[in-house]
Amino acid sequence: MAVSPIPGTVFGPRTILHHMRAARLHEYTEAMDDALSIDDVDTPQVNQADHVVVDIEGAGWCQTDNHAIEGMWEQYMPQDLPMTLGHENAGTVVETGDGVSTVEEGEQVICHTVMTCGTCRPCRLGEDMHCENIQFPGLSTDGGFADQLLTNERAVIPLPDGVDTTDIAPHADAGITAYHAVKLAARELNPGDHAVVIGVGGLGHIGLQCLNAMSPVTITAVDVKNSALDLADDLGAHHTVNPSEADVADEIDDLTDGNGAHQILDFVGSDETTALAPDVVAAGGDHYVVGYGGHVHEPSQALVNGDFSYQGTLVGQYTELQELVALVERGDVDLRTSRYNLGEINDVAAKLDRGEIEGRAVITP
Ligand SMILES: [Zn+2]
Ligand SMILES: [Zn+2]
C-alpha cells in the first residue's frame, strides 16, 4: 500500500485517519446561543473488537444536551472537555471491529445511548443502564453531533428497510426513555383506569402514543402550551388540561369521580409537576419522574396516606429499543421532527431552552 504524506491525514495500522466536523462543548455555560463550537477533529478509530463506527444521518437534540452544557451532568458522568455532545444517534455503519458479527458496513442502525460490557452482573441481569463499565457517548465520551460516532456492537440496533435514519434518531433516547416509563406504568394499568401525561414535548408526545398503543386507559395530557395540547389531541389524548388556565387536581378529580389517576408520566419533572402527585395520584399509584431539573418536596405523610410512590426512570434496555422500533414499524408511534444542519446547533440549543421547539429537533451532520 502506498503511503502518501497528505497534510492532515495520518495512516494507522488499519484505518485512515481523516478529519471531520464535531459540535463540541469546551466549557460549561448558561449561554445556549454560543455554547458549542464546530471543531475540526479526527474521525473515530476502531481499536476494540466490538467497536462500530457509524456515519451519523440524524442526531436528536435533547433537553439533556442543554443540561450537559450547564454542567448538570458533571457530577454523574466523568466528562473530559472539550467533548462532542449528541446521544440520540442513527445512521449507517462505516466500519466494524474484528469481533463484530451482527452488523456490517452499509447497514442502517439506531444507536442506543450507552456502550456496555455485557459481562458485569447488571449486564447479565439485562440492566443495561446500570452496567459497571458504562460509557455514554455524548455525555462521557464523544457523541453524535459530528460526521461520525464511535459506539459498540451491543449498542447498535439494525433498522428495518425503509426506515428514515434521520427521523428515527430521537428514539435512541427520547423514544426509549418514554417507552421504558410507559412500559412500567402499563403493567399497573387496567382497562378503564386513568393515566396522566405531563409535558407533551419531545418525550411526552412519544410517551402518549406508546401509552395509547399499549394500554386501554383514559389519558389526560397536561401542558402549559396550547399548541402542545393540540398535538396531544391529535395523538389520541382523551382530555387536555392547561395548568395556567385550570386547576389540574380539580380537573383530574372531576374526570375520575374523585379517585385520581392510577399512573402519572411526568416528562417535565419540575417542582410544580412533582407537587401534583399527592392531589392527583390514585391510591396505590405511581408518579414516574422522567423529565428532570426540579426537586421533589412533598411531606412523607402525603406518600404514606396516598400510598403512592415517586419512581425515577433512566433511558431503557437494548431490548426496549428493539420493541420501540417494532412499534414504529407498526405505525403506532409517529415522531414529530424538524431538521437542522450542524452549523445551526446553537440556535437549536437556544430555541429548546426557550421552549420553542415542537416535537424533536434533529441535527443532520
Ligand atoms: Zn436525550
Ligand atoms: Zn456491564
pLDDT digits (tens, 9 = 90+) for 172-181: 999 999 999 9
pTM attached to this predicted model: 0.89
d(CA 223, CA 243): 7
Distance between CA atoms of residues 275 and 222, nearest Å:
14
How large is the average pLDDT for residues 4-25? Answer: 63
Confidence band of 10 (pLDDT split at 50, 70, 90) = very low
Q: pLDDT-derived band of residue 16, with 50, 70 and 90 as boundaries?
A: low
**Confidence class of residue 6 from pLDDT cuts 50, 70 and 90?**
very low
Span from the CA of 64 to the centroid of ligand 1 (angstroms): 6
Which residues, in sequence order, are CB contacts of 105 under 8 Å at separation 6+? 93, 94, 95, 96
Each residue's pLDDT tens digit, 99-154 = 999 999 999 999 999 999 999 999 999 999 999 999 999 999 999 999 999 999 99
Dist CA 327 CA 320 (whole Å):
10
Separation of CA 79 and ligand 2 centre (Å)? 19
> What's the confidence (pLDDT) of residue 325?
94
> How far apart are the CA of 320 and the centre of ligand 2, in A?
17
| Separation of CA 115 and ligand 2 centre (Å) | 9
The closest ligand to the CA of 111 turns out to be 1
Which among 306, 241, 237 is positioned nearest to 277, based on CA atoms? 306
Ligand 2 centroid from CA 358, angstroms? 36
The closest ligand to the CA of 201 turns out to be 1
Residues with CB under 5 A from ligand 2 (ion): 116-117, 120, 123, 131
Least trusted range by pLDDT, from 3-12, 284-293, 352-361: 3-12
CA of 63 to the centre of ligand 1 (A): 7
Q: What is the pLDDT of residues 51-96, one digit of tens each?
A: 999 999 999 999 999 999 999 999 988 899 999 999 999 999 999 9
Question: Which ligand has the minimum distance to the alpha carbon of residue 120?
Answer: 2
30 CA from centroid of ligand 2 (Å)? 34
pLDDT in tens, 263-275: 999 999 999 999 9
Q: Indicate whether 2 pLDDT > 80.
A: no
